[in-house]
Amino acid sequence: MIGRAVDRFRIVARLGQGGMGSVWRAEDTLLGRPVALKLLAEELAGSEKARRRFLREARAASSLDHPCVATVYGSGEVGDLVYIALALVDGETVADCAARQPFELGQGVRLGLAVAETLGHAHGRGVIHRDVTGRNIMIDRDGRVFVLDFGLAFMTDLSRLTSHETNLGTAAYMAPEIALGHDADPRTDLYGLGVVLYEALTGTLPFRQERAEGLLYAAVHERPEAPAARREGLPGWIDRVILRLLEKRPEDRYPDSDALIVDLRRSASAVSGLRVSHALVGAGTTHQVAAPRANAVALLPFRDLSATNSDVVEPRAAQALTEAVRAALGKAVGLEVISLEPAGEGPDSPPGREQARRLGARLLLEGSTRGAGDRVRLSYSLVEVANGAQVAGDTVDGTADNLFNLEDRLVESLLAALRAESGLDRETRRAGRDPQAHQSFLDAIARLRRTDDERSVDAGLAMLETLRHEQGDSASVWAALGRAYVTKFQLRSERSWAIQAAEVCQRALDLDPHAPEVFVTLAELHGATGRHEEARGAFERALELRPEYAEAWSGLSLAYLKSNRFVEAEEACRRAIALRPQARPHRPGAAPRSRKGFRSCIRGVHADRLDEALGEYGRSLEIQPTPDAWTGLGTVLFYMGRYEDSAEAFERAIALRPLDPRMWGNLASACDCIPSREARAAEALDRAISLMLERLGSNPGSAEDWALLAGWRADRGDRTQASEAIERALTLAPEDTSVMAKVAAAHVLLGEEAAA
């Protein structure tokens, strides 16, 4: 077979043999990519019924749009061969991994969650796997889980199982109802998942018979041994979960994948030390309290206690000093820093100690600045969260021209009190020894944080440009300047900003090759230019240097999301939330991509999680009503089918950011679903197109901008202009999966399904 062409696929090597036929590595000669080519077994290929069913099941598999399902590239018949071409997964099967070494508990739970979510996605679309086994689940080199062979096992029958040694594996995972000849339903797949989890965590299968007949008999009549009896140290709750999956009667198992996911998460979260996912803090009115962690310090923003607006310490300085202290603690060895919202702000804002207690911090750090005349006073207090007792505190006084040294003294005193090494290089922390330059640096940082206000960003950028010429050996200045350039690129989409950002980031790394904030800036630059894998690598490097860097975890979550790695994205996002639960979102929510035909699709968000997301966005809006938060809320409401509420949220986003074409595109999507608001939908769509054309007229624009414009043009029926926008988008980012998805949506709106 090697070298033979099957349609456009040329067979390169044999990968394996399954109950349905053989699997080969092949090359897609049209697109130049490797694929896995499945060929129907010769003895089945002669049956017209078998051929039809094989291809029908392939179509069912191709209907699944989930990151844990290998993409189906094509299927068909060539002479006496019936084939399915799928994405090639480079990795190991769960069976092989478990045989080498059983999974750690956390790894096993994450595997269970990934497979359960995948099965739930399939079951919701009427597809039952029927052959969930340790050899049909693979883990690639990046740790991603893939469930293979959806629907193909329907062809396997008992006569073939009992007569072929190669099917012993399939028999070991077979549910009792199938062994008895009954029909499969979603709970059949859950039984198979139970066997997979048993195997992953113990390295053995529940039943140890050597023949298929014995395995089938055991599945029907014998109760499996508890996993903990096979592997010492497994907790009782995982025994309970797995044994429920392995119940003989389907009605005694979990009713569906969602119920399993809820139980698995709840049980795992209740176990001290097992971080499958972090609790969402403050969602709704129920608060989950984390166990106190010895190295966790909760940081309240510094307060300005000046009697009047001082010329020495202006209100923004307290915010900037908070950032400086946070950065210093973030570099300290062995500390976990948790940022809190200002105590007492808002009618429902809890006191600092209560916030810290909920988040599992052992210590609470409060600080203040005070200015009077030419004098400055900086203070901090370190308090035991459990009893409110002060364990340390200090006050440093000085003159305005010595502000930076005062900050240094405060941080050093604090670190000494915490008995931790700072790991700081003074030369890289500051913008030079000139106090006026340092104050300008802090002011610039405060202005750059207001990314929704381009005038504020420009002011911060101008201050940093001046500092660069005055303090050319400061890595801090170069790193901040890189962040400013990236922000400008994100706002204006002008390539010159991206080029400058790359140059100054390299200069910052030359001065300090171990600065995590520079790697975060580089990662954001990579992400903004569509290089999501490089962005992921840079975020991971930042986290190697500073494991509790909340901003890096947040960015890594977005990078995973862009790569359709939703399980990892959620885990990274929860890490960020746990570290900085009160931080406002710095990216827009995932707004609807197009209007007609895609309203039920939201990638990476499952129906059972929308209420969670709704609560989180509501909490974010209580902290600060930003356009991005309103966009996120509107998006969740849209996918919940609450179109009136969604439109209202998008209107509020527009009120805060009226010149953003994306905001108008979102509003058009929501209003298009409301019969009485068709006129507003058309108006919003026209406005989105007009604003995007203005943006693209003043700069080249990003691939995502062109892809969005293509979708809007297609929706309005502007075929020629939509096609031109599609071409521009793909020219700018031919391998960006996010851009490809938008382009595919535009093709479908144009009636060009084949091109999609």
CA–CA distance, 496 with 54 (Å, rounded to integer): 53
Residue ranges for the binding site? 38
More confident residue, 389 or 660: 660
Q: Residue 178, by phi and psi: left (phi above 0), alpha (psi -120 to 50) or beta?
A: alpha
Global pTM value: 0.41
Residue 291: DSSP 8-state: P
Q: What is the reported pLDDT for 369?
A: 82
Q: What is the reported pLDDT for 154?
A: 42
Between the two ends of the chain, the Cα-to-Cα distance in Å is 32
CA–CA distance, 184 with 132 (Å, rounded to integer): 12
According to CATH, what is the number of the domain 279-424? 3.40.50.10070
- Encode pLDDT of 647-669 as tens digits: 999 999 998 888 889 899 999 98
Spatial contact of 588 and 632, defined as CB atoms under 8 Å apart = yes
Q: Where, residue-wise, is CATH 1.10.510.10 in the chain? A: 91-269
CA 577, 581, 586, 592 dihedral sign is positive
pLDDT above 70 as % of the chain: 74
Mean pLDDT of 52-56: 75
Burial of 555 (0-12, 13-18, 19+ CB in 10 A): buried
The CATH superfamily holding the domain 91-269 is: Transferase(Phosphotransferase) domain 1 (1.10.510.10)
**Residue 489: what residue type?**
F
Inter-CA distances, 491 with 103, 177, 552, Å: 45, 58, 21
Q: Where, residue-wise, is CATH 1.25.40.10 in the chain? A: 607-749
Residue ranges for the binding site for ATP? 38
b/e per residue 618-646 (b: at least 16 CB within 10 A) = ebbbebeebbbbbbbbbbbbbbeebbebb
Q: Where, residue-wise, is CATH 3.40.50.10070 in the chain? A: 279-424
- Encode pLDDT of 450-503 as tens digits: 766 778 888 888 888 888 877 667 777 888 898 899 888 877 767 788 889 999
**Closest-CA residue to 324 (of 334, 333, 314, 316):** 316
Spatial contact of 649 and 634, defined as CB atoms under 8 Å apart = yes
**Closest-CA residue to 552 (of 515, 589, 497, 588):** 515
Q: What is the reported pLDDT for 330?
A: 62
According to CATH, what is the number of the domain 5-87? 3.30.200.20
- Encode pLDDT of 4-47 as tens digits: 999 989 999 998 876 567 899 999 887 788 999 989 888 777 78
With residue 299 as reference, give the H or E element that holds it.
Answer: strand 293-299
Q: Where, residue-wise, is CATH 3.30.200.20 in the chain? A: 5-87
pLDDT above 90 as % of the chain: 17
Mean pLDDT of 356-367: 79
Q: What is the reported pLDDT for 439?
A: 63
Q: What is the band of 72 on the pLDDT scale with cuts at 50, 70, 90?
A: confident
Tokens found for residue 686: 């026209």
Q: Does domain 607-749 have CATH number 1.25.40.10?
A: yes
What mean pLDDT, rounded, does the chain reach? 76
Mean pLDDT of 329-337: 62
- Encode pLDDT of 151-210 as tens digits: 544 433 333 333 333 344 478 999 999 888 888 899 999 999 999 999 999 999 999 887
Tokens found for residue 19: 């109950």
Tokens found for residue 389: 């007792």
Does residue 631 register a pLDDT over 60? yes
Spatial contact of 239 and 271, defined as CB atoms under 8 Å apart = no
Q: What is the band of 343 on the pLDDT scale with cuts at 50, 70, 90?
A: low
* DSSP codes joined into one string, 77-94: EETTEEEEEEEPP-EEEH
- Encode pLDDT of 516-575 as tens digits: 888 998 998 888 776 778 888 899 888 887 777 778 888 888 888 777 676 777 778 777
More confident residue, 720 or 736: 720
CA–CA distance, 667 with 671 (Å, rounded to integer): 6
Spatial contact of 333 and 420, defined as CB atoms under 8 Å apart = yes
Pick from 152-161, 283-292, 730-739 the range whose average pLDDT is largest: 730-739
Mean pLDDT of 113-124: 90
Q: Kindly give, in sequence order, each residue whose CB lies less than 8 Å from that of residue 483, ignoring residues fewer than 6 positions away.
A: 448, 517, 521, 524
More confident residue, 137 or 736: 137
Mean pLDDT of 100-107: 90
Does residue 309 register a pLDDT over 70? no
